[in-house]
Structure 1
């Protein structure tokens, strides 16, 4: 019995249409974290729209909590700040709440079509109307509140956990301290996740669901550390912990580790963390909800990790001190583990993962029943292709979409061809064009002095938008669709200077490069950006120096959420009309 199936999703929609739910049946509060006030505003607008359309359970309190202004505080800081928001919003009432806290405040640099409106509102190729990640999260965890003592379940906006248990088994969160779900994973997966060193006396490896305790939590460990710590299990007919330091005979059996996904903290632990946050006043550094909370837990925890800044994106002077204080606070707190032996953890946070899970023969696509064409109007010729994903879009007869491509929230004209493995998002293409393979194209409405205007970002799907260099002499290492950035700038008649980059600090990268022209119409902005890409591909000049240019970073600052949602709504309304027409035609023909 997989936890998630179409009936579970329909149940979420059922709760959306009725305000009646038995006490404890739904979450008391669902909290979305946001990186800043602008992102929080975008989330609130989308929540309001979804509630208006009866796509979310109405009996739940929805709270959007923006990180405080100033230095970034990481998802650990966001967790602490969200606890404060809960207390400010609901007073003592929240002490009895079951809370789902979804970390949704990233800028989504590795999946930029989700940057403007948020990863938690990423559309899935499923449902009429479409399901987004938020409904998927609510559906996946639909049974949890009924088996949970007051407390907070912490999850991310871009991962999916599917598991099967016995019909009578339920996942219960009723122990003090922290409780985490654990999934069997290859050792390679363990190097990029949290890994549990399970207490052998509490773990047998039998059955689909097992409650155990964790001796120690490792954050993104290397393979050697996993072996030395006793985290590695040997999978024969069932997982068994190998002794610490042994390498196992992988020729006979495969090795696995148990990796993290979501975790729960009971209310008194949440209260402890909130008290700590209030005492701190401001954090001033990025802390990790997984690395900095969970590594302090369990009898085998040591403070060594507090000084290890290997996995930190930006080292802050106060980080080690804050970690040490958190360690002192949480040391001795239990880390309970719910081992899900028949489970699968999926991540959809990068362009590659997004394309793979939505268009290839992925297990996730099969398990969720993801559709090649979801809530869209498109010619029959496109419907015969299985290896693509058309999501709430209108495609006119004549257009050609290559295999492995995703089109979402777009209008595609008859003379458009899209190559293989591309992503087109929020765009209107009403002119003749060949979009190359592995192209990433995403349009954003922006509020400028003259009103609403449009900018379209274009990249290669494999381009690294997170990469940055510190000086102009190093920008040749930045690659745009296979070419070095200085080569591209020459073709576009742009000068490499500090003014070319929007970042206040010295982060020079594709994310902060002011290269995308602001245009008065959506289709014109798409045309301009595709011309820029074409010039790079064919090494032919295309001058953009006469335009106002924005970086992706600035697009998000100036984004006009209302206009973007309006464009989506026009597509939505048109599809609904078409569906009604099809139904009435069907009835007419049937009589």
Structure 2
């Protein structure tokens, strides 16, 4: 992903004054400009790219309310200013604030933007992707950070910076914490200070009408774009098995195998993704699964719609292993305020309290990491710490099997971690070591194949 980002932005530095370019790791922007058109970041303040998107897409992203006096909506590239920035607004808010545009004639948009003649007179909005902060403004933000000394809440570079910009902005957003996974008492205060700091700073927008914004940050989006006949897959010429070992005797039709070793006798269901993993010969992977960083060397059927991700963690200076397992449809962001409501949290369609009973785990405040102000799957300490990668996979799949069969599987005696803690204790060096082992084995096998051995 890093290489792809660098390739997409390769022309930017030569047309950019000193400053900072902010981008996300889970989106891809493809665009086309005319031979004489150049994307230039040379204005003071903030400068953001804007892409035409369906109105429904705007509800989960940032949306620009563009200044109508300086914007025509025609041509491949256009520089304008932003009246106001909306962060994940509902459709009614977008309409009320004037963010919704009507496409009268789509003939000037090429196929990259995914518009056709049938979409004439359809509604759309301009959504965000990357943005640039000039050096002077970046210094102001750095001084603000030093003044605060210690941040006690999460500041969103998109929602908390961009919403403060534009001459049509208000301070109403500073008190809105509905889109936060955890409400933090100091967030409103920090937002108000940021709003005052950034007041009057311009938000310039580079409108890319011939562009397409792809978000791959959710499990469903990841599966769709990398395994189906998606436009992204076509435009980037994505291969189904890039740099992997997959025997002819391993059935991997309609799946995506990324830097992995899939041994003969393994079956990978359609629409599934295997990445940075070693899958043994007696493994059956169902449909629409994501298997990441795992070593599976036992005879097992992995059910469809399964998300399995293994991590190395460092605890007391020792490397251990934990594997998280969920349904790709589980809502890891959902929280409840009372322990009595935790059964509304669904693990593969089953209430969390029912799962805990099957695993012999007691429900209490101590079961959850964090400050215990809210409870969710993200902070539930349910995944056992193991001494080997393959053992951690076996334990987590056994947990899942017990839930699906409604049979007991005890976790007594194991240290349990939440997803939140797994990421905090993650040992990246050891995880890269496992990836490099797979990489070296693939290289060796390719050399043997070339030499006919």
1:584 aligns with 451
CA contact (8 A) 2:63 2:89 kept: yes
Aligned length: 444
2:182 aligns with 314
- Alpha carbons of 1:476 and 1:354: their partners in 2 closer, same or farther (altered >3 Å)? same
1:452 aligns with 319
Residue 219 (structure 1) aligned with residue 87 (structure 2): yes
Report matched runs for 1:175-190 at 5 Å. 175-190=43-58
Residue 534 (structure 1) aligned with residue 401 (structure 2): yes
Residue 347 (structure 1) aligned with residue 215 (structure 2): yes
Find 2:199's aligned residue among 314, 331, 335.
331
Report the Cα offset of residue 216 of structure 1: 2.1
Question: TM-score normalised to the size of structure 1?
Answer: 0.71
Residue 257 (structure 1) aligned with residue 147 (structure 2): no
Output one character per residue of 1:236-278: Cα deviation in whole Å (capped at 9) or x when no partner: 21499xxxxxxxxx99610111111111121112122223333
Whole-angstrom distance in 1 between the partners of 2:320 and 2:162: 45
1:432 aligns with 299
CA contact (8 A) 1:372 1:383 kept: no
Report the Cα offset of residue 383 of structure 1: 7.2
Residue 412 (structure 1) aligned with residue 279 (structure 2): yes
Whole-angstrom distance in 1 between the partners of 2:104 and 2:401: 53
**Structure 2 unaligned runs (5+)?**
109-117
- Alpha carbons of 1:405 and 1:499: their partners in 2 closer, same or farther (altered >3 Å)? same
Output one character per residue of 1:123-163: Cα deviation in whole Å (capped at 9) or x when no partner: xxxxxxxxxx2111111111000001111111112111111
Runs of 4+ in 1 over 4 A off after TM superposition: 381-384
Whole-angstrom distance in 2 between the partners of 1:152 and 1:222: 30
- Alpha carbons of 1:227 and 1:450: their partners in 2 closer, same or farther (altered >3 Å)? closer
Residue 470 (structure 1) aligned with residue 343 (structure 2): no
Residue 500 (structure 1) aligned with residue 367 (structure 2): yes
Report the Cα offset of residue 427 of structure 1: 1.4
- Alpha carbons of 1:343 and 1:448: their partners in 2 closer, same or farther (altered >3 Å)? same
Report matched runs for 1:83-102 at 5 Å. none
Output one character per residue of 1:405-463: Cα deviation in whole Å (capped at 9) or x when no partner: 11111111111110000111111111211111111111222334594332222111111
Residue 390 (structure 1) aligned with residue 257 (structure 2): yes
Whole-angstrom distance in 2 between the partners of 1:229 and 1:450: 53
Question: TM-score normalised to the size of structure 2?
Answer: 0.91
Residue 169 (structure 1) aligned with residue 54 (structure 2): no
Output one character per residue of 1:507-564: Cα deviation in whole Å (capped at 9) or x when no partner: 3322232322233322222122212211111112222213333332333343333322
Report the Cα offset of residue 300 of structure 1: 2.3
- Alpha carbons of 1:178 and 1:513: their partners in 2 closer, same or farther (altered >3 Å)? closer
Whole-angstrom distance in 2 between the partners of 1:507 and 1:405: 33
Whole-angstrom distance in 1 between the partners of 2:344 and 2:252: 41
Secondary structure, counterpart of 2:153 in structure 1 = coil
Residue 374 (structure 1) aligned with residue 245 (structure 2): no
Find 1:280's aligned residue among 148, 153, 159.
148
Secondary structure, counterpart of 1:299 in structure 2 = coil
CA contact (8 A) 2:355 2:403 kept: yes
Report the Cα offset of residue 381 of structure 1: 5.0
**Structure 1 unaligned runs (5+)?**
1-132, 241-249
Whole-angstrom distance in 1 between the partners of 2:169 and 2:422: 43
Output one character per residue of 1:378-400: Cα deviation in whole Å (capped at 9) or x when no partner: 01255772x21101111111110
Report the Cα offset of residue 375 of structure 1: 0.7
Whole-angstrom distance in 2 between the partners of 1:300 and 1:527: 55
2:112 aligns with none
Output one character per residue of 1:278-300: Cα deviation in whole Å (capped at 9) or x when no partner: 33333433333223322232232
- Alpha carbons of 1:582 and 1:268: their partners in 2 closer, same or farther (altered >3 Å)? same
Greater CA deviation, 225-234 or 142-151? 225-234
Whole-angstrom distance in 1 between the partners of 2:173 and 2:159: 9
Greater CA deviation, 310-319 or 564-573? 310-319
Whole-angstrom distance in 1 between the partners of 2:46 and 2:346: 43
Secondary structure, counterpart of 2:320 in structure 1 = strand
Report matched runs for 1:16-165 at 5 Å. 133-165=1-33
Secondary structure, counterpart of 1:380 in structure 2 = coil
- Alpha carbons of 1:323 and 1:445: their partners in 2 closer, same or farther (altered >3 Å)? closer
CA contact (8 A) 1:206 1:238 kept: no
- Alpha carbons of 1:298 and 1:506: their partners in 2 closer, same or farther (altered >3 Å)? closer
Whole-angstrom distance in 1 between the partners of 2:72 and 2:211: 17
- Alpha carbons of 1:308 and 1:441: their partners in 2 closer, same or farther (altered >3 Å)? closer
CA contact (8 A) 2:164 2:198 kept: yes
Find 1:271's aligned residue among 136, 139, 149.
139
CA contact (8 A) 2:244 2:442 kept: yes
- Cα RMSD between the aligned structures? 2.3
Whole-angstrom distance in 2 between the partners of 1:317 and 1:548: 31
Whole-angstrom distance in 2 between the partners of 1:369 and 1:216: 37
1:549 aligns with 416
